[in-house]
Amino acid sequence: MKAFMTNGTIDFLQKLQQKHANLDFFFMNSHEGSLAYYEGTGKSVFTAGREYEILIQKGAVKQEGYVVMNNIPVTEDGKPVFEDRFKKRQQDVDGMPGFQAFRLLKPTKGNTYVVFTQWESEKDFKNWKNSAAFQQAHQDQGTKPPAYFADRPFVTKYHMVDQEELN
């Protein structure tokens, strides 16, 4: 299974939805702009989008909620180590109140993985970040980034766009 994303204005993204009514798009907004996301097995419908292989999938992405994407550039040599770390790790996140979905996304081009989590609300995400489960899941992360990081990770946060607002 693959995941596909592209950025654009809501008007532009809405036209994509009209053109590809057979796809289940998820639209998100942040202070930096809007994003369209969908999952599938075929080729991307985006001309200027990003494509990912879904390595780990928990829960179902929903039309409502709060999405946090941790974008992690990983060196070529570090990819197996990075992926193995996630596959071995306990995914306590899916038992947290407000959890909706988790995806570990491997880029088909480039080196920036995306750790995608969706929550019912921003408050639920903050509760996860302040939980003992989060501390335990991230206890091996010191102040020095792992050697497999190609660059500094960065986080993007989105609020889902109400589908009623688009119509």
- For the stretch 72-122, pLDDT in tens is 999 998 899 889 888 877 566 888 999 999 999 999 999 999 999 999 999
SS3 content of the chain, % helix, strand, coil (to 5): 25, 40, 35
Domain containing residue 125: CATH number: 3.30.70.100
Task: Please tell me the pTM assigned to this model.
Answer: 0.89
Which residues constitute the domain of residue 145?
2-166
Which residues are CB-neighbours of 16 under 8 A, at least 6 positions away? 6, 25, 36, 45, 46
Give the number of domains in the chain: 1
Give the sign of the dihedral formed by CA 13, CA 19, CA 21, CA 22: negative
Range in 26-35, 100-109, 122-131, 142-151 the model is least confident about: 142-151
Q: How far apart are CA 72 and CA 38, in angstroms?
A: 20
Give the rounded distance of the alpha carbon of 159 from its chain centre.
12
